[in-house]
Amino acid sequence: MPITDLLERNAAMKGTQVAIVELSPRSGSDRIVSWRDYETSESYPDQALRREMTWKFMDEQANRVANFCLSRGLGKGSRVALLMKNALEWFPLYFGVMRSGALVVPLNFRNTKDETKKCLELTRADAIFFGPGYAAQIESIHGELPWIRTFVSVAPERPDFAESYFEGVGKLSSDDPGVELSDDEDAAIYFTSGTTGQPKAILHTHSSILSVCVTEQTHHGQDEDDVFLCLAPLFHTGAMMHWLGSLVSCSRAVLLRDGKPLSILKAISLEGVTIAFMLVPWVQDILQDVENGILDFGDFELSQWRLMHIGAQPVPAELIARWRAYFPDQRYDTNYGLSESMGPGCVHLGIENTHKVGAIGKPGVNWQAAIVSEDGHPVERGAIGELTVKGPGVMERYLDDEESSSSALRDGWLFTGDMGYEDEDGFIYLVDRKKDVIISGGENIFPIQIEDHIRALSKVKDVAVIGGYDRRLVEVPIAVVSVKEGLNATEEELAAHCETLPKYKCPRRFILADVPRNPTGKIEKPRLRAMYAGNPVFQNEI
């Protein structure tokens, strides 16, 4: 069944039940507060403005969006881009575009104007909805995108070249447009995170997206009494696909537009959150504030919080050990996935396997996984190879990129580009991205092993290891280290800590600086390489 049918079902079954609550910072200039249908008189004490939307209203508004698209000649075969930060409006836009038969194209709201233009060129989008704060960016490039027929501003104000979402969509019929959709029809175009270079456009079908509902709900057991906290950006599969567990269970979600530790804990406490998907930096920040006496878990109602899960990046075992010291009865899960696998869950740890934290886990429900050699043959258990997965969420292909598609897709298997191994119990551990492997004097060095070692220092907040140029060895590891606020560390101290590593793995240089991460929490290693890797690194530089 098309993914849009689940929204229609929820509206029929639980129409007056709140589907989404949005909490926005009071000072945020990109909030959407102009539409009375969404407004509530309740404000969040000292934190945020609160809006909510029922399943019925979301469904009706999705129909209005679909009817708007059809009235502008946008339907099957069309591609409609979304460029906006997390907001209630995201959901009816997402479903409404698909309900019209068009493909929805979520864009990274942190893109530069050139990156946005590149994505619109790559997908040949026919229309774009853009939120507050993006009018200037779109205005600067809209004249270079003559194939885009429709520009829609999802904001209280609109530029002259665009239509108003609130005026245009709000006046149209809330009846279902009656476009027939099938499971195998194209539904969405997502983008890779760009951690290894220019993002690729990924084509997914309705059945691919629907499969995530089954995966997520099976893994985490959502029922209609659960409340899901969504912090991550909805343009990425890691957030939107975790929310599909709420869609299939017809349960409430809280969209929090503020990642500060205090805001997170207040939202969980006051909204009765039971499940939270987190990224490593958020967990680190919360623990740091608690351990520094800035926050006290005892000041919040957290007893109902039954599950915390993390994805999008390797999870340090010591971080979860620290967390579970405060929450010994809370369940934990690690999720692994790619945009090419329709997001999280193709491999997951499982809430019963906390003793294996550090692993990404075993194949998820309805998925297969294998560790293979360069020629695609399975390697012996314990040997390092490339992780491949096969299941219902695998992409159709990369859009207009036959070479990359044929390289990534072979006989139904998705070659992930992640290197890993399987232990004696069948749990999979990642060692690094294939393209991030450092080859130093003929030796393969996996940065994550060095990063985990350095991260064990209590002063270290974050770390990234990249390959730096060396005249003799060609590449040697260098470490970019971010130190926790209020603490100091020296290069000599870091070097001394690394002396227990094999000599060839010891970083030849330590750079005390911020470690940049993208909105999904992944380290931006191409950016670090551009900043640091091009300079010669000599063996005596420590």
Burial class from Cβ neighbours inside 10 Å (0-12, 13-18, 19+) for residue 229 reads buried
- Determine the pLDDT at residue 193: 64
HSE (side-chain half, CA atoms, 13 Å) at 413 = 17
| Structure letter (DSSP) for residue 113 | H
Got the DSSP string for 460-501? EEEEEEEEEEETTTEEEEEEEEEEPTT----HHHHHHHGGGS
- Under 8 Å CB-to-CB from 323, ≥6 apart: which residues? 283, 287, 308, 332
- Determine the pLDDT at residue 40: 43
In whole angstroms, what is the distance from residue 215 CA to residue 231 CA? 20
- Determine the pLDDT at residue 42: 44
- For residues 283 and 313, the answer to whether their CB atoms sit within 8 Å is no
| Structure letter (DSSP) for residue 162 | S
Tell me the domains of the chain and their CATH numbers.
55-208 (3.40.50.12780), 437-533 (3.30.300.30)
Q: Which of 528, 501, 460 is nearest to 284 (CA)?
A: 460
- Under 8 Å CB-to-CB from 471, ≥6 apart: which residues? 536, 538
Q: Which of 234, 32, 20 is nearest to 131 (CA)?
A: 32
| Structure letter (DSSP) for residue 532 | I
In the chain (542 residues long), the average pLDDT of successive 10-residue segments reads 92 95 74 48 54 95 97 96 94 97 93 88 96 93 93 90 91 93 93 66 94 91 95 87 93 92 95 92 88 94 95 77 93 91 89 90 94 91 93 94 92 91 93 73 75 88 87 79 89 91 87 82 79 56 30
In whole angstroms, what is the distance from residue 141 CA to residue 139 CA? 6
**Stated length of the chain:** 542
Render the burial of 54-80: b for 16+ CB within 10 Å, e for the rest. bbbbbbbbbbbbbbbbbebebeeebbb
- For residues 478 and 532, the answer to whether their CB atoms sit within 8 Å is yes
Angle in degrees, CA 101, 103, 105, rounded to 5: 150
- Determine the pLDDT at residue 26: 65
Render the burial of 160-194: b for 16+ CB within 10 Å, e for the rest. eebbbbbebbeebeeeebebebeeeebbbbbbbbb
Token pair of 302 as six digits: 């957290």
- Determine the pLDDT at residue 39: 45
Q: Which of 12, 5, 72, 64 is nearest to 37 (CA)?
A: 64
What Rg, from alpha-carbon coordinates, does the chain have? Answer: 23
